[in-house]
Amino acid sequence: VSGKTLNLGILAHVDAGKTTLTERLLYAAGAIDAMGSVDEGTTRTDSLALERQRGITIKAAVASFAVGDVVVNLIDTPGHPDFIAEVERVLGVLDGAVLVMSAVEGVQPQTRILFRALRRLAVPTLLFANKIDRVGASQDRTLAAISRRLTRAVVPLGSVTHIGTPSANYAPWSPSDQEFAARLASVLSDNDDVLLADLVDDDVSVTDRRLHRALVDQSHRAAVHPVLFGSAMTGAGTDDLVAAIVELLPVATADPTDLLSADVFKIERGKNRDRVAYARVRSGTLHTRDRVHIGARAEGKVTAIRVFDGGSSAERSSAGAGQIAKLWGLREVRVGDSITGSGDVAGGGEGGASGGREFRFAPPTLEAVVDAVHPKDKARLRTALGELADQDPLINFRHGAGGRDLCVSLYGEVQKEVIGATLAQDYLLEVTFSEARPLCVERPRGTGEALELLHGETNPYSATIGLRVEPALPGSGVEFRAAVDPRSMPLYLYKTAENFVGHMRQFIDETLAEGLFGWRVTDCVVTLHRCAYSVFDGPPSSRGPTSTPADFRNLTPIVLRKAVAAAETVVCEPIVRVELEIPTDSLRAVTAVLAGAPVEAASTTGDLTRLTTVLRVADANELQRALSPLTAGEGAMESTFCGYAPIRSGSASKRATASGE
């Protein structure tokens, strides 16, 4: 294991040119001999049949090239908002990112959402304005949109000639260009007081070289974002982009002698349908035949490793800190798992499961019931969805309607089609989907308690459990507290109090997956306030505890359901904050569609009006459909998930009144 690694995400709004750019970068760096094309379905990273048919990226894919002694692992991501969960997993393994936008369309809704996430995680990010060869491309408009809608902490590194024509080209500014140096100095000094003071004093120490060093340093720290222009299609500007990537983005830093830790961000099926995990090694070194912890859940043995190494991946006996490795042999691995050495303390990172999952973006807000066309396939469908859910963070399903229905959660209609096509292609399953409806949650209305006593008349199990359910702050999720003496816990079965509490937590999460109205129960505190196990006190030889794990596993859901029923629940549906930018002369027509929804902020500049409001998801979807006809195609809207609000009696299409969370 030698050299340096840079794990680079390529992110953008749908169709901005990520996959084409990935292909171009591989070609420019000599990793491939000929450029593939998205339109012909021949790129390296859009390798799935579905991606090639549709010309869109669905799954994140890794490719790599070398520049000098740096191996750049490119992760091409999907831009369609239905596949945002795929980007979510990738964000955690990046050293840097290129946020691509089109120099024609400029900053689009997903551009902002992605940029915000990159900023929050402080991922060093270059901005690349693509498609300068297309009619309508504009440098000034793109830069204005960036500083108005993304950030002012940007430095354009060059300019474009013949923009909007096939011969459009990009040329970097010369470091001695006075205007460029002045602009650079002004942006950099916003984050550097010493530089600012020297500039004010007109100090001779402010040289081109000093400015350049400050640019490198601030880009590495994600304090400023260099902007480059180019065309993935013609190759204009892409050599400069390669140079900027290796100079202005930081390489991975980690200690290969440290304890092993690796993050799984993608799972793919191998030739024998075995699981292949893509993991970024965070620290330490992973060897073939190593036994490892998979989250805190399972163990496994790595049977083979491939490492990305400029060009394609190559078989290796080990993968070191900073590298992205493909791992074979981990049968129980899921996306989001953290892998640690089996000699070390298991390092949490249980991801993948639907339980306490955290979203960097928004959670899915829709769901549909999926059903097999042929009744005999029902069981197989269940298994297939389970398998898909394990390898694919996009797919999340639950049993609705008391176990009769299979419900998949969704970000949108395209995702529904993709799941259908995947089931057909990979599992030969024909399915139908119900219309997507808002994915609701239930919150407790008040406090509820329930208790089942050992030997009690209504208690079919040999244990005592008392649980209390109380409402908690919106957005807080489920908290479990064990308010009993550890001596009352069946430690002879679970060894430690912590382990027992962990198991109880799991029973509770499973039970809360379906509340009184069939939705997940959340935003509550569950307290275990009574607990006892049964002790057989016959002759001394047979004296001792007799409750089994099954008693606790089976009794907990019974007691918890009673407690939830006593608390009662309120069904709440997802709401989104909607930002609208519309021609002022369409304001009336648009507000008519919003009837009733509170407009939080409105401002008019020139003939454009911007306003913000909060809508139920169903209404936001309706508005999205109505917007284009109402604004002659000029209106733009962006919605961000902002929580849940109690459903208005009867109809999910009523306007939101609550302000959410």
Ligand X SMILES: Nc1nc2c(ncn2[C@@H]2O[C@H](COP(=O)(O)OP(=O)(O)OP(=O)(O)O)[C@@H](O)[C@H]2O)c(=O)[nH]1
Complex with ligand X: residue 236 or 333, whichever CB lies closer: 236
If the CB atoms of residues 130 and 283 are measured against ligand X, the closer one turns out to be 130
SS3 119: helix
For residue 651, give the DSSP letter. -
Binds 233: which of ligand X, Mg ion, none (CB < 5-8 Å by kind): ligand X
333-372 positions binding ligand X, by CB under 6 A: none
Residues 41-70 that bind ligand X (CB under 6 A): 56-57
Region near Mg ion per CB under 5 A, out of 55-63, 357-365, 382-390, 428-436: 55-63
Window of 16-24, 209-217, 360-368, 436-444 that interacts with Mg ion by CB under 5 A: 16-24
CB 349 within 8 A of CB 282: no
Q: In sequence order, which ranges of 226-297 are alpha helices (DSSP H)?
A: 238-248
Distance CA 226, CA 158 (A): 10
Q: In the set 130, 340, 511, 547, which binds ligand X (CB under 6 A)?
A: 130
**Which residue of this chain has its Cβ atom nearest to ligand X in the complex?**
79
Binding window for ligand X (CB under 6 A); candidates: 126-134, 427-435, 477-485, 610-618: 126-134
CB 640, min distance to ligand X, A: 19
Closer Cβ to Mg ion, 19 or 547, answer by number: 19
How far apart CA 497 and CA 534 sit, in angstroms, is: 17
Tally Cβ neighbours within 10 Å of residue 27: 18
Q: In angstroms, rounded to a whole number, what is the distance separating the alpha carbons of residues 410 and 363? A: 9
Q: How many separate helices (H) and strands (E) can be counted in the chain?
A: 16, 36
- Tell me the CA distances in angstroms from 209 to 205, 212, 475, 491, 625, one per residue in order: 9, 5, 49, 66, 52
Q: Which of 634, 650, 638 is nearest to 583 (CA)?
A: 634
Contact pick of 18, 275, 280, 443 for ligand X (by CB under 6 A)? 18
- Sign of torsion over alpha carbons 232, 236, 239, 241: negative
Closest CA to 526 of 556, 500, 550, 552: 556
Q: 19 or 621: whose CB is closer to Mg ion?
A: 19
The reply on whether position 19 binds Mg ion by CB under 5 A is yes
**Torsion of Cα atoms, 187 then 193 then 199 then 201, to 10°:** 160
322 binds, among ligand X, Mg ion, none (CB under 5 to 8 A by kind): none
SS3 598: coil
For the chain, state the CA radius of gyration: 28
Backbone phi, psi, residue 654, to 5°: -70, 160
Site size toward ligand X, by CB under 6 A: 22
What's the rounded Cα separation, in Å, for the pair 534 and 56?
Answer: 60
Paired sense of beta strands 441-444 and 431-433, if any:
unpaired
78 lies in the binding site for ligand X (CB under 6 A):
yes
Does residue number 20 form part of the binding site for ligand X (CB under 6 A)?
yes
Q: Which is nearer to Mg ion, 19 or 111 (CB)?
A: 19
**Using rule CB under 6 A, residue 86 touches ligand X:** no
The binder of ligand X chosen from 2, 33, 34, 39 (CB under 6 A) = 39
Which one of 10-18, 241-249, 399-407, 448-456 is the stretch in contact with ligand X (CB under 6 A)? 10-18
Partner from Mg ion, ligand X, none binding residue 574, C-beta < 5-8 Å depending on class: none
Contact 294, 277 (CB under 8 A): no
Q: Does 57 bind Mg ion (CB under 5 A)?
A: yes
104 binds ligand X (CB under 6 A): no
For residue 14, the minimal CB distance to Mg ion (Å) is: 8
**What are the phi and psi torsion angles at 427 (to 5°)?**
-125, 0
Specify the DSSP element, H or E, that contains 137: none
Among 6, 8, 11, 17, binds ligand X (CB under 6 A): 17
**Binding residue for Mg ion (CB under 5 A) from 13, 18, 266, 280?**
18
Is 511 a binder of ligand X (CB under 6 A)? no
* Dist. CA 357–CA 284, nearest whole Å: 27
From the list ligand X, Mg ion, none, which binds 630 (C-beta under 5 to 8 Å, kind-based)?
Answer: none
C-alpha torsion angle, residues 247, 22, 119, 348 (rounded to 10): -100
Nearest to ligand X of 236, 512 (CB atom): 236
Strand partners, 172: 158
What dihedral angle (degrees, nearest 10) is formed by the CA atoms of 539, 545, 550, 554?
Answer: 100
19 binds ligand X (CB under 6 A): yes
Asked if 133 is part of the footprint of ligand X (rule: CB under 6 A), the reply reads: yes
Our finding on whether 275 is near Mg ion (CB under 5 A) is no
Cβ closer to ligand X: 9 or 438?
9
Q: Which is nearer to ligand X, 16 or 227 (CB)?
A: 16
Nearest to 117 by CA among 259, 222, 227: 222
Nearer to Mg ion, 37 or 657 (CB): 37
User: Residue 631 Cβ, how far from ligand X at the closest point, in Å?
Assistant: 24
- Indicate which of ligand X, Mg ion, none lies near residue 398 (CB less than 5 to 8 Å, by partner kind): none
Tokens in use for 540? 């001394």
| Options 54-62, 495-503, 588-596, 605-613: segment touching Mg ion (CB under 5 A) | 54-62
Contact call for residue 73 and ligand X (CB under 6 A): no
In the bound state with ligand X, the residue whose beta carbon lies nearer, of 98 and 185, is 98
Instruction: Transcribe 445-490 into DSSP letters.
Output: SS-EEEEE-TT-TT--SSEEEEEEEEE--TT--EEEEE-S-GGGS-
Residues from 198 through 257 that contact ligand X (CB under 6 A): 231-233
In this complex, which beta carbon is closest to ligand X, that of residue 335 or of residue 418? 418
Residue range at the interface with ligand X (CB under 6 A); choices 14-22, 303-311, 564-572, 625-633: 14-22
What single-letter amino acid sits at 159?
S
For ligand X, the closer CB: 51 or 619 = 51
Q: Which residues of this protein are in contact with ligand X, per CB under 6 A? A: 12, 14-20, 38-39, 56-57, 78-80, 130-131, 133-134, 231-233
Q: Which residues of this protein are in contact with Mg ion, per CB under 5 A? A: 18-19, 57
